[in-house]
Amino acid sequence: MSLMKAAARRIPGLRRLDARGRLLGLTPSNAVCAEIGVWKGAFTERVLRQRKPASYHLIDPWAFQGDMPDRWYGGAIADGQGYMDAIHDDIQQRFGTLPNVTIHRSPSVEAAAEFDDDYFDWVYIDGDHSYEAVLADLECYAPKVKSGGWLLGDDFLWGGDSLPVKRAVEEFVASGRAEFAQRFDQQFALRRL
Ligand SMILES: C[S@@+](CC[C@H](N)C(=O)[O-])C[C@H]1O[C@@H](n2cnc3c(N)ncnc32)[C@H](O)[C@@H]1O
């Protein structure tokens, strides 16, 4: 077993990093891609370093949602809209001037209308983890991903017994528009049919 794998077994944070690395290993470099739910840009940084995308769209409203107190952006970490504005400003400063990055400050379903069909090589879904929102992201972005491209996402087993992400993903796969390709810990990969 590699040193990284042995360490990842013992340390949950490392296990997540390793799973994300393996997930990104499925994707081509120099791709046209998007991240839905960007937060403070930890995954963004990794994608830029590891995959060197040709065009990377960052989609997040950076809106405080006090009616969702269990979410980072609803009170679990953020304490109000000022906190979210500060995150957005930091993202804008770090990534906004890069020639291959476009920032879309809006909810994912609204932003979807800005993209042509068959535009993306891959999309990573990590925004609102409710069943309805994950299903809506899959429904809206599947046509925007090329056939053979990837619908990727995080937190497959999030949400306690109700497993909203898993239920939405499995329901979408059952519709026949994508096949379940891989899972690495909480990371999932669907291949667009
Ligand atoms: C779990 S964090 C994303 C973490 C990030 N992908 C990373 O790995 O570093 C969830 C993010 O989703 C965003 N979000 C919530 N609702 C959204 C929506 N409807 N569309 C897009 N992003 C949304 C939140 O503002 C928050 O920044």
- Please name the residue whose Cα sits nearest to atom 19 of ligand 1: 107
Does 14 have pLDDT greater than 70? no
**Could you tell me which residue, 40 or 4, shows the higher pLDDT?**
40
Q: What is the mean pLDDT of the chain?
A: 94
d(CA 187, CA 43): 12
Q: Is the CB of 131 under 6 A from ligand 1?
A: no
- State the greatest distance between any 2 C-alpha atoms of the chain, in Å, as a whole number: 46
- For residue 117, what are the CA distances in angstroms to 59, 108, 193? 17, 15, 14
The residue type of 168 is: A
Q: Is the CB of 37 under 6 A from ligand 1?
A: yes
Atom of ligand 1 nearest to the CA of 87: 27
Q: Is the CB of 124 under 6 A from ligand 1?
A: no
For the domain covering 28-192, report its CATH number: 3.40.50.150
Q: Give the predicted TM-score (pTM) of the model.
A: 0.94
pLDDT digits (tens, 9 = 90+) for 157-184: 999 999 999 999 999 999 999 999 999 9
Instruction: State the pLDDT at residue 69.
Output: 97
- For residue 108, what are the CA distances in angstroms to 7, 151, 166? 35, 14, 19
Q: Looking at 54-128, which runs of residues are DSSP E strands? A: 55-59, 101-104, 120-125
For the segment 27-40, the average pLDDT, to the nearest whole number, is: 98
For the segment 51-78, the average pLDDT, to the nearest whole number, is: 98
Instruction: State the pLDDT at residue 3.
Output: 59
Cβ neighbours around 97 below 10 Å, total? 8
| Residue boundaries of the structural domains of the chain | 28-192
pLDDT digits (tens, 9 = 90+) for 85-120: 999 999 999 999 999 999 999 999 999 999 999 999
Give yes or no for a contact between 180 and 152, defined as CB atoms under 8 angstroms apart.
no
Closest by CA to 35, choosing from 117, 91, 75, 89, is: 91
d(CA 32, CA 152): 14
Q: Is the CB of 73 under 6 A from ligand 1?
A: yes
d(CA 140, CA 52): 25
